Amino acid sequence: MTKKLFGLVSLLCACLFFFSFSTTAHAEKTYQIGTDVTYPPFEFANKDNQYIGIDIDLLKAIAKEENFKVEIKPVGFNAAVQSLQSGQLDGIMAGMAMTDERKVKFDFSDPYYKTGFVMAVAKDSKITKLEQLRGKRVAIKTGTAAGEYAMSLKDKYGFTTVTFDDSDNMYNDVVNGNSVACFEDVPVMQYAIKTGTALKIVTKPARGGYYGFAVMKGQNQELLKKFNAGLAKIKQNGEYKKIVDRYLSSETVAAQKDAKKDGNSERTFFGLLKQNRQALLKGLGETLYLTVVGIICATIFGVIIGLLGILPNKFAQGFSTTVIYIFRGLPLLVLALFIYNGLPSLTGVKIPAFVAGVITLMLNEGAYTAAFVKGGIEAVDKGQMEAARSLGLPFGTAMRKVILPQGLKIMVPSFVNQFIITLKDTSILSIIGILELTQTGKIIIARNLEGFKVWTIIALIYLIIITLLTWLSNYVQKKMK
């Protein structure tokens, strides 16, 4: 029986690896390009939750000119940098400043936009210069050149910093008074203010530089050449200017601002729900799909590991205990990043975000499943096994016919509860770019800045589903009794 269980574990791992490899092989037919989640006017989602912006439109125009395809991965700036370094992405187009530090690790394209860094404060703030930041808190965005610029001033001007993964949360931290200022790239901050963000710029642009398209040092040089050639072509034929004007001309910015004002009637809870129902349903569908696939894999993995723990074999028991200890001890966020970014760095094999998410849930939730499977079986009176063996039943038959049916009654409620936990844990996987319900909420908030209302809607969706699952759990427990 021990050999069969080990065989099942090996088969499960082989299937997951094959699925990962085959999916990756298919994905490599196009270039995987990482970008930010909320960085208007360079990348953001429109009312239909389709990604648009200067970076997105430039990249598509260049790809069209040079006859190559791109798949946009809106994972956030920091996650995009990590994914590029691990080989999960082929390039980054995310308003990335071409600094000397970054040039050590990345190869950049020809510059495509001039920028600089400014400090912004709340509209009613009396802070007008850097010297007034002493002893106060400043918001910055993780991994950005503007954030690095703020860090270089930190000791000189005596302020502390707090980091955020996206621009919207950074702005809101200042607007809400939690931080007194934030640092951002000039065009991004100007666009945010002109379209309604309640901030004001109080410093002149510093450290003028340029944005560039980035690939890993020495890699994807053909893609880099195509980008440079395409960029030169769209500048020459006027498409570059059309794209920039599409987002930064005074008429476009005014239209964006008016659209926000006109949309106030749709800022109620029901208005937001109606306006974004398709995006929310799509995000919910991804969450449920990820949960179902994850819990199936976690259940198979957990049952196998749990059964290994009760076999009369010290090696099997030790293996089971070790697996449960390791994967229950690792935070889900750390495990997800290790699988999605760490393993490709070691193996050189790309792992699609969904596959990485399923493997993460399988290992983490499966370890908890193994623990209660093991506990459920051990909870059955030992006399049951002794009686079965005294009747001449082999260990495997006694386990299958006598012990497992009794242990299953103990385990069923835990299985349902684990399904609920897995459903909630899928929200953490937005960190690797899976567009589930939580990530969908971030994108919607970046567009309309209605954080409280949107998060309330998402919280209610989760509560409704979890309530239904809880009723199911109670119903199953009653039937089992």
Return the domain boundaries, the chain: 32-111+212-262, 114-210, 274-480
Interior angle at CA 407, CA 402 and CA 410, nearest 5: 150
pLDDT(218) > 70 = yes
163: left (phi over 0), alpha (psi -120 to 50) or beta: beta
Pick the closest to residue 441 from 426, 456, 454, 459 (CA basis).
454
What span, in angstroms and rounded, lies between the C-alpha atoms of 125 and 136? Answer: 13
- Say which residue, 136 or 272, is predicted with more confidence: 136
Q: What is the CATH number of domain 32-111+212-262?
A: 3.40.190.10
Give the chain's length. 481
* 229 — pLDDT class (breaks 50, 70, 90): very high
State whether the Cα torsion 380-383-388-394 is positive or negative: positive
Which residues of 203-359 form beta strands (DSSP E)? 206-211, 214-216
Q: What kind of architecture, by CATH, is found in domain 114-210? A: 3-Layer(aba) Sandwich (3.40)
What span, in angstroms and rounded, lies between the C-alpha atoms of 251 and 231? Answer: 25
What span, in angstroms and rounded, lies between the C-alpha atoms of 302 and 295? Answer: 10
- Ranking 50-54, 149-153, 345-349, 369-373 by mean pLDDT, the lowest is 345-349
- Say which residue, 436 or 183, is predicted with more confidence: 183
Q: What does the pLDDT look like over 440-477, one tens digit per residue?
A: 887 777 666 677 788 889 999 999 988 888 887 777 66
What span, in angstroms and rounded, lies between the C-alpha atoms of 204 and 185? Answer: 11
Tokens 């920039």 — which residue? 244
Question: Under a CB-based contact definition with an 8 Å cutoff, are residues 416 and 473 in contact?
Answer: yes
Residue-averaged pLDDT of the chain: 82
* 25 — pLDDT class (breaks 50, 70, 90): very low
- Say which residue, 419 or 242, is predicted with more confidence: 242
Q: Which two tokens stand for residue 125?
A: 């703030």
pLDDT of residue 297: 92
What span, in angstroms and rounded, lies between the C-alpha atoms of 189 and 151? Answer: 18
Burial of 124 (0-12, 13-18, 19+ CB in 10 A): exposed
pLDDT(263) > 80 = no
Please give the share of the chain, as a percent, with pLDDT higher than 90. 32
Q: Which two tokens stand for residue 192?
A: 């945010």
Q: Which two tokens stand for residue 5?
A: 């269980």
Q: Number of C-alpha atoms within 13 angstroms, CB side, residue 329?
A: 6
Q: Which two tokens stand for residue 477?
A: 């427990």
Mention every residue, 6+ apart, whose C-beta is less than 8 A from residue 255.
none
Q: What does the pLDDT look like over 312-339, one tens digit per residue?
A: 788 988 999 999 999 988 899 899 989 9
Burial of 424 (0-12, 13-18, 19+ CB in 10 A): middle
Within 10 A of 466 (CB to CB), how many other CB atoms are there?
A: 15
pLDDT(30) > 90 = no
The secondary structure of 180-211 as a DSSP string is SEEEEEHHHHHHHHHTT-SEEE-S--EEEEEE
Q: Which two tokens stand for residue 13?
A: 């791992």
The arithmetic mean of pLDDT across residues 240-257, rounded, is 73
Tokens 């200067």 — which residue? 54
pLDDT(342) > 80 = yes
pLDDT(216) > 90 = yes
What span, in angstroms and rounded, lies between the C-alpha atoms of 17 and 7? Answer: 15
Do 32-111+212-262 and 274-480 fold alike per CATH?
A: no
Encode 17-30 in three state secondary structure.
HHHHHHHHHHHCCC
Question: Under a CB-based contact definition with an 8 Å cutoff, are residues 240 and 167 in contact?
Answer: no
* 184 — pLDDT class (breaks 50, 70, 90): very high
- Strand 160-164 versus strand 137-141 pairing type: parallel
* 137 — pLDDT class (breaks 50, 70, 90): very high
DSSP code of 432?
A: G
pLDDT of residue 23: 43
pLDDT(5) > 60 = no
Q: What is the CATH number of domain 274-480?
A: 1.10.3720.10
The arithmetic mean of pLDDT across residues 86-94, rounded, is 90
Q: Which two tokens stand for residue 383?
A: 């006399």
Within 10 A of 215 (CB to CB), how many other CB atoms are there?
A: 23
pLDDT of residue 391: 67
State whether the Cα torsion 185-191-197-198 is positive or negative: positive
What span, in angstroms and rounded, lies between the C-alpha atoms of 455 and 450? Answer: 9
What span, in angstroms and rounded, lies between the C-alpha atoms of 211 and 35? Answer: 13
